[in-house]
Amino acid sequence: MNFSQEAAAWSCTSCGGELSLVKVGFTYMKGNFEVDLPACAECGLVLVPESLALGKMAEAERILEDK
Amino acid sequence: MGCCEKATSFATESLCPHCLDRIPATRERCGEDVYLVKSCPEHGEFHTIIWRGKPEFHGWQRSPNMVRTSESQTIAEHGCPFDCGICPTHRKNACTAVLEVTSRCNLRCPVCFADSGSDVTSDPPLTEIAEWYRRVLEAYGPDIIIQLSGGEPTVRDDLPAIIGMGRSLGFSFIQVNTNGLRLAMEEDYASVLRQAGAASVFFQFDGTEDVIYRKLRGRACYAEKRRAIERCVENGIGVVLVPTIVPGVNSHNIGAIIKLALELSPGVRGVHFQPVGYFGRGPDAPDNRSRLTLPDIMRAIEQQTDGLMRAEDFTPPGWENTLCSFHGTFIPKTDGGLQALTGHGGGCCDSREGSDAHAVSFTARQWSAPPASKGSDCCCTASSDPAAGIETFDGFLEQVKSRLLSVSCMAFQDVWNLDLERVRDCCIHVVAPDGRMIPFCLYNVTSASGQRLYRGHLQELPGF
């Protein structure tokens, strides 16, 4: 499931609004970058899809969270 | 030394520089500086600088996240540091096992830790080295950095066989500690070492000027150093530049070394500074002005790179004692600057959790050759397009995999600044000829008259 499909499959747990893809800024170990993620159009709550959390984010953690 | 603040002192222990007896010691603040102060009933009091200036000493902390899990090879009988090793009072597992495969060398360096200045002795046979490997395997398992050292290990023609032996026993990361002269002299030698299984060279590199090599190594060899680096990179061996920094000799060249490393990155994977220690004979304590502490190096990096790397970009270690080292990781940005991925004092970066295996895998990955870029025809030359940028997650991941440069510093201890609180946290262990694991600084420490604590003074362990 891509992030657009994720956005369509979820609704906001906080306010019940619909999700759409928006650019979300990440700060990780002093690195800043943007990712298009599902977020609530009403309240801005962001969904980090499981595939991202267990995929690239976990990979970055493995690489960078060092000794 | 009347200004020292004993109220803020920390009690530890050390050795008398003259008789090598264990004596009480304290870390005492004097303004922004910190001294190790110790007193021997027979030989008097000693004050040695261990921290000079900013960043502040008391802020240089990180929660220890590594605990000792390995079994002991000796019992605690006489007390630290006389029971190595390692004994039950040691607090950390090893991250690196150093195997000294020869005492011969093709240079004669006055600043050398090893025994290469003494009479030539015969090299340990392969059977003995095999036994050392087995000892390391029993004590720590295969997920450890094996560093083949000396002397100069490349003077042994059977070095490829020694590397291959380690790989066949299951060690995944084998690094050769070398001055690089043979790599420069023999065109195919880097390829031979790579094919044998060497992942990395811990490369003696004291600067970018021949005047430095004449002073520290006895002759000019900068051109050979550059040729050796080139050959390692071409053959997929990760290069870690290791400068020994001596005040007034190459302390001005720290920024130039880093700038060269950035230029040669990602083939050059890191720079690992080692402020000079004082070993061997010398009846008087070395002048504190002849010492460089961790903050001295951090500030020199900032000053000499014009702020490209800043002192605040560096972080204390999570494995060894926080007073033993610092490190930082950096990736290039598209605007020519650097993005630091580390730092201290910000809170979030000091609470990271880790594990022994994680720390070793990070170091092994960082010190090995970078992965080949996507679409590259060659497995040996890296890497990603530096202009790919780190503004997206994919770009960031690609850059950290292939273009990360590490800059670190290890403050070795000599008999004057030896601090047993630090020793008990040591994770770099030399495998002594009798198979014991001895913390690196203890193995090399000598009294003011040149008497050694461990090197050359070991008896065989039972059953070895």
Q: How far is A41 from chain B (nearest CA, A)?
A: 22
- What residues of chain B lie within 8 A of the CB of A29, using their CB? 341-342, 349
Closest Cα in chain A to B348: A29
- CB-facing half-sphere around the CA of B160: CA atoms within 13 A: 11
Q: By C-alpha distance, which of B257, B249, B185 is closest to B223?
A: B185
CA dist., res. B98 & res. B410, Å (int):
15
What residue has token string 């922004």?
B32
Q: How far is B18 from chain A (nearest CA, A)?
A: 36
Of B340, B354, B360, nearest to A30 by CB-CB distance is B340
Contact B393 A66 (CB under 8 A): no
Range B98-136 burial, b when 16+ CB lie within 10 A, else e: bbbbbbbbebebebbbbbbeeeeeebbeeeebebbbebb
CB B136 within 8 A of CB B172: no
**Prediction pTM value:** 0.90
Token pair of B102 as six digits: 């020869």
What structural domains does chain B harbor? 96-275+294-376+383-410 (3.20.20.70)
CA dist., res. B196 & res. B167, Å (int):
8
Per-residue pLDDT tens digits of chain B, which is 464 residues long? 555 666 567 999 999 999 999 999 999 999 999 999 999 999 999 999 999 999 999 999 887 666 788 889 899 999 999 999 899 999 998 999 999 999 899 987 766 655 554 555 679 999 999 999 999 999 999 999 999 998 899 999 999 999 999 999 999 999 999 999 999 999 999 999 999 999 999 999 999 999 999 999 999 999 999 999 999 999 999 999 999 999 999 999 999 999 999 999 999 999 999 999 988 766 678 999 999 999 999 999 999 999 999 999 999 998 889 999 999 999 988 788 898 988 886 544 444 455 666 678 888 888 999 887 443 433 334 444 544 566 678 888 888 888 899 999 999 999 999 999 999 999 999 999 999 999 999 999 999 998 999 987 654 444 33
CA dist., res. B73 & res. B325, Å (int):
26
In this predicted structure, what is the pLDDT of residue B318? 84
Most trustworthy range by pLDDT among A4-13, A57-66, B419-428: B419-428
CA dist., res. B22 & res. B12, Å (int):
11
CB B225 within 8 A of CB B178: no
CA dist., res. B442 & res. B420, Å (int):
10
In this predicted structure, what is the pLDDT of residue B378? 39
The phi, psi pair for A65, rounded to 5°, reads -85, 90
CA dist., res. B237 & res. B200, Å (int):
5
Largest Cα–Cα separation, chain B: 69
Q: Where are the domains of chain A?
A: 3-64
Contact B341 A63 (CB under 8 A): no
Chain B residues with at least one Cβ partner in A under 8 Å: 95, 317-319, 327, 329, 331, 339-343, 349, 352-354, 358-363, 365-366, 390-397, 400-401
The DSSP annotation for chain A comes to: --HHHHHHH-B-TTT-PBEEEEEEEEEETTEEEEEEEEEETTT-PBP--HHHHHTHHHHHHHHHS--
Pick the CATH number of A3-64 from 3.10.20, 3.90.320, 3.30.2450, 3.30.450: 3.10.20
Q: By C-alpha distance, which of B207, B214, B218, B193 is closest to B242?
A: B207
In this predicted structure, what is the pLDDT of residue B355? 61
Closest Cα in chain B to A67: B359
- What residues of chain B lie within 8 A of the CB of A67, using their CB? 95, 317-319, 327, 354, 358-360, 362-363
Whether A36 shows a pLDDT value over 70: the answer reads yes
Token pair of B16 as six digits: 């008398």
Q: Please, which residues have CB within 8 angstroms of residue B412's CB and are 6 or more apart in sequence?
A: B113, B274, B275, B277, B440, B441, B444
Cα-only R_g, chain A: 13
Q: By C-alpha distance, which of B455, B453, B457 is closest to B18?
A: B453
CB B190 within 8 A of CB B231: yes
Contact A67 B401 (CB under 8 A): no
In this predicted structure, what is the pLDDT of residue B8? 64
CA dist., res. A53 & res. A48, Å (int):
7
